[in-house]
A and B are shown apart, each in its own frame.
Chain A
Amino acid sequence: MAQRTTEIVVGLFMVAGLAALMFLALQVSGLSPKSAGATYTLYANFNDTGGLAPRGKVSMAGVTVGTIESITLDKETFQARVAMSINKNMDNIPADSAAVIRTSGILGEQYIDISIGGDMESLKAGDAFYTTQSAMNLERMISNFASGR
């Protein structure tokens, strides 16, 4: 085969590879150019984080506004401390809002839902949620129900 034809075919092969990478980035992993924008960190302490995992979503009224950065155990209070990175343009979360761990569907993943409060003041970078609600634990609920408490 002529060198020129070979070069064209190999060029097309490389273009196909780049197109595949673009497809994997945009369509499969849902990477959008703006999602890497500026964020700020908020904290919340929970008694039980259940199956919450880093990279999980933080949502408000069902709309994703951030992701879970890390989950660590506070050695003083034995509570789990969850760091969340929230999109910078969501800078007016009322200071008395509550962080609640919810499950999407029955078998779905767990995520943090922010219930909006009514305070005029808003949370700033590094602040912690005052009110939190831990993950619903089915086994504990059943055992509480069975023992009549």
Chain B
Amino acid sequence: MMNQIAALGRIGIETVASFGRASQFLAGVVFGVPRPSVGFPLLIRQLYAVGVLSLAIVVVSGLFIGMVLGLQGYTILSDFGSEAAIGQMIALTLVRELAPVVTALLFAGRAGSALTAEIGLMKATEQLSSMEMMGVDPLRRVIAPRLWAGFLAMPVLAMIFSVVGVLGGMLVGVEWLGVFEGSYWGNMQASVDFVDDVVNGIIKSVVFGFVCAWIAVYQGYDCVPTSAGISSATTKTVVYSSLAVLGLDFVLTAVMFGNF
């Protein structure tokens, strides 16, 4: 009986300690930005790795999700004879919800897992500790550029996702199913508000980018430096990022759109 209580207590202490380590780690990284002359090339390289290389999967998913929304929306809306509202449906679903969330999930799987594995392997092969020996702070040199790259790349990817999705929806709705192009764009423009919908969607994607990048680099930095440790850290990155994104999405949606 006492053992079980002790085990429960240990889990609690572990959890709190891990949150504390993650926060200290975050503070060290965010405020430990390297000098621009050194940091900028590092940031560019990481932006290439997390942003540009994730572009293909984001564009392809955006296109298909837009096309599916077009087909599904047309089937439902044509029952009410209001298939002209398809543009507004596609744009609002994408901009408010699907673009930030799906991009973040893809980002966690595509870029987050790679970040964790890379940093974890650096730790396992003692590259991080040898950096410290040479007087280079690995938080600044390795972690900070990766965190900032994720933070910057995510909103860009989400916006591209929205645009491709809207165009994909147009491909199905207008070109294939024959909704009038003028009402596709007109309904969309009448119902999508720049600040309330587009900017709120971007804020969501900024938050998700930050959370995903933070979880990815922290799991890599904090992993057990063995092959099993790296594999479990990579799994944790994807699982925690996905859960955090979906949970935060509900909270952010309730704050942004729940004022009724």
Residues on A close to B: CB < 8 A? 1, 3, 6-7, 9-10, 13-14, 16-17, 20-21, 23-25, 27-31, 55, 57, 105, 107-109
Contacts and interface: CB of A to CB of B under 8 A. Distances in A.
Contacts of B194: 24-25, 29, 31
Contact of B82 (A25, A29, A55, A105): A105
B80 interface: yes
B162 A24 contact: yes
B51 interface: yes
Interface string B76-114: 000010100000000100010000000000000000000
B44 A28 contact: no
B160 A16 contact: yes
A57 B193 CA distance: 12
B160 A20 contact: yes
Contacts of B224: none
Nearest to B158: A20
A29 B197 contact: yes
B69 interface: no
Contact of A14 (B41, B82, B156, B196): B156
Given A13-B156, A24-B163, A29 B193 contact: yes
Interface centre among A6, A10, A21 (most CB of B within 10 A): A10
Nearest to B164: A20
A28 B159 contact: no
A30 B44 CA distance: 33
A29 B156 contact: no
A9 B160 CA distance: 16
A23 B166 CA distance: 10
B211 interface: no
Nearest to B51: A13
Contacts of A17: 155-157, 159-160
A25 B198 contact: yes
Closest 5 CB pairs of A and B: A30-B189, A17-B156, A20-B159, A29-B194, A29-B192
A24 B198 contact: yes
B163 A23 contact: yes
B47 interface: yes
B190 interface: yes
Nearest to B162: A24
B91 A6 contact: no
B198 A10 contact: no
Contacts of B44: 3, 6-7, 10
Contacts of A10: 44, 47-48, 51-52
B164 to A, nearest CB: 9
Given A14-B156, A17-B155, A29 B80 contact: no
A105 B55 CA distance: 41
Contacts of B191: 109
B230 interface: no
Contacts of A30: 188-190, 192
Interface in B179-218: 185, 188-194, 196-198, 202
9 contacts: A6-B48, A9-B48, A10-B48, A13-B156, A20-B156, A24-B162, A28-B91, A29-B192, A30-B190
